Amino acid sequence: MKIKDIVAFVPKSITPKAGKIYRLYSLPSFDDGRLYETLDGKNIQSNKYIVPDKCILFNKLNVRFKRILRIDESDTNKVCSTEYLPLVVNESKVDYQYCYYLLISDKITNYLCGQNTNTSGSHKRINPDNFLDINIILPGLAEQKRIGKLLSDIDHKIELNRAINQNLEAMAKQLYDYWFVQFDFPNEEGKPYKSSGGEMVWNEKLKREVPKSWKDITFNSFINKNKAGDWGYDMPKDGTIKVGCVRGADIVKLNDIPIRYITSKHSDRLLEDGDIVIEVSGGSPVQATGRVALITNGVIERNGGTLVCSNFCQSFSMKKRVFSEYFYYLWQNLYDNDNMFNFEGKTSGIKNFQTEVFLANYWFEVPEQLIETFHAVVSQYHLMIDLNIIENNNLIKQRDELLPLLMNGQALVNSDLSVH
C-alpha cells in the first residue's frame, strides 16, 4: 500500500478577495506557535489552497521541521500556503489520528529528506508525487484507532498544559495592570486603592498622576549588575566553560530553547534565578528589539543548568530577587503598549536597542512591600508554569519514544489505555 491509497492531495487554488476574512494557515504562523492568522483578503499575498473541513496539512518545504497540522473544523474561508499539501484522509482505510502520526513519523521524514530537491541551500521542497508514492504497511483499523487515540490523548494533555500556562501568564499580566497601571492595588483595608478614593498626585518629572507618597526613580534603580552578552566558539578551549546560550530569537520561547552550546571565559555572566534578559539587537534592519525574558531556576534546569545570553542580548541581575517579576511585567507592559520603546539606534543598518539610555528614564517607585506581595503571588504562577513544562517535556519524550514502536509494530496498545 502507498500513501496515495489512504490520502488524496486536494490542490484547489483560490485568490483571496479584499473585504473577506480568511483563516490563513502558513509556515510562519506555525513557527510562531499560532494555528492560523485571521486576515482580510487584501492582506494576503498570492494564491492559496482551499483548506478542506477535515484534512491534514503537510509541509512540502523543509520537511525535517515537521510543520504538520490536523484540521478538523467547518469554519468557512480556510486557506493555506501553497507550501502545504492539503490531504483528505480516506477514513474507510485509515484512522484519521493514526494517519497524522504516521505522516509525522521519522520513517516518513527521513525518507523525504533523502528525496527532496534543492531550490536553494536552505529551501528544500519535496516532490508531492514522491511523497504520495511512499510504501506503507498498516495494522488493522481497530489497532489504528487504539494507537491514534493513545497518541492524541498525550498531545491533548500537552496542549491543555500549554493553555493553562498561557492563562497563568495572562493572570500575572492582568494583576500587574490592575495594581500598577490602574493603581487599584490593595490599600490598608484591602480595598482597591484608586477606585476607593485613594489620593493621586501629579508628578512633574513623570508627567502623570501617581499615588500619593510614591516618588520617582530611574529604571536603573532596580538593577544590581549588568552581565552583558557573550559569544564564543563551539570547540572548548583552555580556561573556557561550555554553556547554553540564549539568543535573541529565544526570548519569546524561553520554555523550549533550541540550545546552541558555546564556550565562555566569563563565569560571572552566567544566568541566575530572577535575572532579566533583554534582546538588544535583532540582527537585521527589521527584526524586533527590546523584547524581555525572565530567567527562573526552571528555565536554567531545563536547559542544562548553565546558561548565558548571546551578544545579541543583555542580561541583568536585580538588586533583590523579589524585584524580578515586577520588573519583567513592567517591561512587558511598556513593550506591548509601545509607550516608551523608541530607543533604537542603528549600526550599519542594523537596529540596536539603546538599553543604557532607556534605563536612565524615570519611573514611579512602588513601595517595596507591595512589590513583595506581587512577587509572592506571581512567583507561584511561574512555579506552576515550570511544573507544567516539566510534565510536557516528559510527555513529549514518552510520545516520541512510543511513536516509532507503535508505527512499526514493536509495541501494541493495551486495550485499557485506549478507553476512558
The predicted-structure confidence for 241-251, as pLDDT tens digits, reads as follows 455 556 554 54
State the pLDDT confidence band at 419, using cuts at 50, 70 and 90: very low
pLDDT at site 405: 87
Q: Read off the pTM.
A: 0.80
Rounded Cα distance between 216 and 212, Å, is 12
- Beta-carbon count within 10 A of 107 CB: 14
Ramachandran assignment for 220, one of left (phi > 0), alpha (psi -120 to 50 degrees), beta (any other): alpha
pLDDT for res 339: 55
Kindly list the domain boundaries of the chain, sorted by start residue: 3-138, 216-364
Q: Which three cell numbers stand for residue 305?
A: 543548568
Which pLDDT value is given to residue 410? 73
Q: Confirm if 60 and 97 have CB atoms less than 8 A apart.
A: no
Q: What is the mean pLDDT of the chain?
A: 84
pLDDT, position 175: 97
> Which residues, other chains included, contact 70 with Cβ-Cβ below 8 Å and sequence gap of 6+?
56, 96, 97, 100
Q: Is the pLDDT of residue 188 over 60?
A: yes
Q: Which of 32-36, 157-161, 195-199, 259-263 has the lowest mean pLDDT?
A: 259-263
pLDDT digits (tens, 9 = 90+) for 261-307: 555 555 677 889 999 988 887 666 566 677 888 988 888 887 777 77
* pLDDT computed for residue 235 by the predictor: 44
- pLDDT value at residue 11: 94
User: How confident is the model at residue 258, as a pLDDT?
Assistant: 45
How far apart (Å, rounded) are the C-alpha atoms in residues 307 and 325?
Answer: 19
Instruction: Flag whether pLDDT at 239 surpasses 90.
Output: no
Q: 361-383, pLDDT tens digit by residue?
A: 899 999 999 999 999 999 999 99
Most confident of 105-119, 219-233, 263-277, 315-329: 315-329
List phi, psi (to 5°) of 311. Answer: -75, 0
* CATH topology match: 3-138 vs 216-364: yes
pLDDT confidence band for 309 (50 / 70 / 90)? confident
Element of type H or E holding 48: strand 48-50
Choose the most confident range, by mean pLDDT, from 183-197, 224-238, 246-260: 183-197
CATH code, 3-138: 3.90.220.20
Q: Quote the Cα angle for 134-137-141, to 5°.
A: 125
359 by DSSP, 3-state: which? Answer: helix
When pLDDT is averaged across residues 196-221 and rounded to a whole number, the result is: 93
Q: What confidence category does residue 417 fall into, taking pLDDT thresholds of 50, 70 and 90?
A: very low
The mean per-residue pLDDT over the stretch 95-112 comes to 92
According to DSSP, residue 186 is labeled B
pLDDT in tens, 341-359: 555 555 556 677 888 888 8
Cell matching residue 384: 506552576
Specify the fold of 216-364: Adenine-n6-DNA-methyltransferase TaqI; Chain A, domain 2 (3.90.220)
pLDDT of 313 reads 80
389 vs 418 pLDDT, higher one: 389
Neighbours of 79 (CB within 10 A): 26
Q: Is the pLDDT of residue 44 over 80?
A: yes
pLDDT score for 281: 76
Task: Check residue 269 and give its pLDDT.
Answer: 77
